[in-house]
Amino acid sequence: MFNALSGFVRSQWYWLAMIFGGLIMEAIALYYQYGLNYGPCVLCIHIRIWVMAFILLGILGLLSHNSRPISSLMSLLSVVAAIGLTERSWMTFAIERHLIDGSCSMGSGLPSWFALDQWFPAVFEPWELCGWTPELLFGITMAEALMVVSPLAIMITLFATYTLYKKEG
């Protein structure tokens, strides 16, 4: 089974799965925003940015999947994106559950040289203050789902990076 997973990680299918997973997450977020009128908070926007990073890294990984050094770099960067996603997911969950005292402003907190909220406001503009996330299914909130998905992303990307580096050695 390890060999089958390793083969998958070394193929273009891994990168396609990363792109597809990211697109699904972004589509769900945009459906809740525009279809159900649940506006995103600043932390939600930060999560969207990390998910967009996965999509972009997946595209670059797909385009360079025959180059082990570039694939390894894209995989290592995807670990960084997974860690960033997990940190923002934890903050969202912790604020929602009152595990930490915190709130957020209506500003995106992005520097002027990376003003995604101004360049692409339909996707990256915060609408609400932090404090709660909508229910997805079966009473599970977005924050709770992200606390499952994001650590899983760390494990998958770490495994992928290990597999790619192991093959090189």
Q: What are phi and psi for residue 141, nearest 5 degrees?
A: -85, 165
Q: Look up tokens 């960033």; give the residue.
A: 84
Among 5-19, 28-42, 78-92, the minimum mean pLDDT is found in 5-19
How confident is the prediction for the chain on average, in pLDDT? 85
Query: How would you class 25 by CB atoms within 10 Å of its CB: exposed for 0-12, middle for 13-18, buried for 19 or more?
Result: buried
Share of the chain above pLDDT 70, in %: 88
Tell me the average pLDDT across 37-45. 88
- CA-nearest of 79, 92, 101 to 151 is 79
Least confident of 10-14, 20-24, 41-45, 147-151: 10-14
pLDDT digits (tens, 9 = 90+) for 123-138: 888 888 777 788 888 9
Read off the tokens for 30: 């945009």
Q: Which of 31-40, 49-58, 117-126 has the lowest mean pLDDT?
A: 117-126
Q: At what angle do helices 42-63 and 142-168 cross, to 10 degrees?
A: 30
pLDDT band at 169 (very low <50, low <70, confident <90, very high): very low
Domains of the chain, each with CATH number or no CATH: 9-168 (1.20.1550.10)
* Contacts of residue 84, Cβ cutoff 8 Å, sequence gap at least 6: 50, 53
Average pLDDT, stretch 136-141?
A: 87
152 SS3 class = helix
User: Cα Rg for the chain, rounded, in angstroms?
Assistant: 17
Alpha-carbon distance of 92 to 34, in angstroms, equals 20
Q: What is the mean pLDDT of residues 140-145?
A: 90
Question: What pLDDT was estimated at residue 168?
Answer: 47
Quick one: average pLDDT of 91-113? 78
Which amino acid is residue 140, in one-letter code?
Answer: I
